[in-house]
């Protein structure tokens, strides 16, 4: 299959194109939102336009947790992430000239769309071979409405998505899903977006998706409105980074990150202190990146994540994603670090632990984790590429 990175596709991505040239790998975020991944398949119905794109998941080192604007998904603070060669979502979008499933009698999918309070248009969504209904489809349709409004194409779409790991096993990501959907949908309607604008569009589907448009290390500038809230690549050439994922549970999270963010903002007495710390944490992280100082980056990464979880746990009622094995994994990371290896923990909206590792130590860190945490899945992920289109 022929692929182009988003940089190649638009011809104006500078460093991102370079980062985008990295190859995909396989696998994993863990903090997955099952309402998010996407898809599409060809049909006999004539297509107005179609496109296919892939995107990788990302793990935040300086976290995004809380919105200043719920509708536009403007975050309260800027964040920094690493796009992994991990979990990849590949999505095809096809806008249909002769009406969608609602018009063609595809009862499975049209019935599911009736169950939503969203778009009047009958889109269809298949994820890893399964037709989707309800909230997942509604969320995708609402996102497609933005693309329809911008392009003036008022037609239903078939969306077919596939993920590199079984969806629903906790190894999926709304970031890769909405980055791939934004890319495929905008290309299908003929909007040839610059990378920054593609990241702004992906942000409307899921905040963290704006970062997955780019490969490697990526900063999401919080901004204050739709135009100023976008992601951009960060020069990470002085660092060799990896993320070691410790899979503790793949079960669906007890509370969605979207809802948990709201509760944290509304009820946690620690939230304001944590969000205030994010600006200085980000500056510290960027200094560490510029200086090629992995230890400094690791320390601020770990501190920022623990601060976020402290704020979550202080919510009323508590937002508590941790399991007993989470604590075991965190202690194992500390002990491995004490033995002289570069390894620092970070966690998202789930019980799984991700370990930022010096790339040179990553395999050894993974071996140590496997021996100390029998029963947990452990995988190494290197930096991955940004969005890619199939020609
Ligand atoms: C992050 N997370 O920076 C943080 C850290 C989880 C913990 O971005 O509501 O799925 O769709 O914008 O992007 C998860 O939040 O939330 C997330 P929405 P999203 O990676």
Ligand 1 neighbourhood includes 208 CB (under 6 angstroms)? yes
Mutate to test the pocket of ligand 1, among 38, 65, 77 (most ligand atoms within 8 A of CB): 65
Q: For the residues 106-115, what does the mean pLDDT come to?
A: 35
The atom number, within ligand 1, closest to the CA of 261 reads 9
244: closest CA among 328, 344, 174? 344
> Rounded CA gap, 227 and 241, in Å?
31
Tens digit of each residue's pLDDT (9 = 90 or more) over 291-306: 999 999 999 999 999 9
- Over residues 176-218, the pLDDT tens digits come to 999 999 999 999 999 999 999 999 999 999 999 999 999 999 9
- Mean pLDDT over the full length of the chain: 85
Strand-pair category, 124-127 with 157-163: parallel
> What pLDDT is attached to residue 8?
38
Give the predicted TM-score (pTM) of the model.
0.86
pLDDT of residue 75: 98
Q: What is the pLDDT of residues 321-345, one digit of tens each?
A: 999 999 999 999 999 999 999 999 9
Asked whether the beta carbons of 173 and 245 are under 8 A apart, the reply is no
Instruction: Please tell me if the CB atom of residue 88 comes closer than 6 angstroms to any atom of ligand 1.
Output: no
The residue ranking higher by pLDDT, 249 or 306, is 306
Return the ∠ at Cα 329 (arms to 325 and 333), rounded to 5°: 170
**pLDDT score, position 292:** 98
**Does the structure show a pLDDT above 90 at 160?**
yes
Helix or strand run (H / E) with residue 298: helix 294-313
Q: Is the CB of 29 under 6 A from ligand 1?
A: no
Ligand 1 within 6 A of CB of 126: no
278 CA distance to ligand 1 middle (Å): 15
Domain ranges of the chain: 1-391
Residue 152: pLDDT band (50, 70, 90) is: very high
Q: Evaluate: CB of 202 within 6 angstroms of ligand 1.
A: no
Supply the angle between the helices 134-151 and 174-188 in degrees, to the nearest 10.
40
State the fold for domain 1-391: Ribosomal Protein S5; domain 2 (3.30.230)
Task: Indicate whether residue 35 lines ligand 1 (CB < 6 A).
Answer: no
């Amino acid at each position: 299959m022929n692929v182009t990175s988003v940089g190649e596709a638009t011809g104006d991505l500078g460093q991102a194109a370079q980062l985008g040239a990295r190859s995909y790998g396989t696998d994993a975020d863990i903090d997955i939102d099952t309402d998010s991944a996407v898809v599409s398949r060809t049909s006999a119905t004539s297509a107005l336009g179609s496109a296919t794109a892939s995107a990788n998941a990302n793990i935040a080192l300086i976290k995004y947790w809380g919105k200043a604007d719920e509708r536009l998904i403007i975050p309260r603070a800027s964040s920094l992430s690493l796009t992994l060669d991990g979990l990849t979502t590949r999505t095809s979008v096809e806008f249909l000239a002769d009406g969608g499933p609602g018009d063609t009698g595809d009862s499975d999918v049209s019935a599911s769309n009736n169950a939503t309070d969203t778009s009047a248009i009958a889109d269809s969504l298949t994820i890893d071979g399964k037709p989707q209904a309800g909230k997942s489809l509604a969320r995708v349709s609402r996102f497609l409405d933005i693309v329809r409004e911008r392009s003036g194409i008022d037609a239903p779409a078939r969306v077919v998505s596939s993920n590199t790991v079984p969806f629903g096993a906790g190894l999926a990501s709304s970031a890769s899903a909405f980055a791939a959907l934004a890319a495929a949908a905008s290309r299908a309607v003929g909007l040839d977006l610059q990378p920054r604008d593609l990241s702004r569009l992906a942000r409307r589907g899921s905040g963290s998706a704006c970062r997955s448009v780019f490969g490697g290390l990526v900063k999401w500038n919080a901004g204050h409105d739709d135009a100023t809230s976008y992601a951009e690549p960060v020069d990470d050439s002085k660092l060799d980074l990896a993320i070691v994922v410790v899979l503790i549970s793949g079960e669906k999270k007890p509370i969605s990150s979207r809802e948990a963010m709201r509760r944290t903002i509304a009820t946690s007495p620690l939230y304001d202190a944590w969000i205030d710390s994010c600006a200085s944490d980000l500056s510290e992280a960027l200094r560490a990146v510029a200086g090629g100082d992995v230890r400094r980056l690791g320390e601020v990464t770990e501190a920022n994540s623990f601060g976020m979880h402290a704020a979550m746990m202080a919510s009323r009622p508590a937002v508590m994603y941790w399991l007993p094995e989470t604590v075991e994994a965190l202690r194992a990371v500390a002990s491995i670090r004490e033995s002289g290896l570069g390894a620092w923990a970070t966690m998202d909206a789930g019980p799984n632990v991700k370990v930022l590792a010096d790339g040179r130590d990553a395999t050894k860190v993974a071996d140590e984790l496997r021996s100390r945490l029998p029963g947990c899945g452990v995988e190494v992920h290197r930096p991955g590429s940004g969005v890619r289109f199939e020609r």
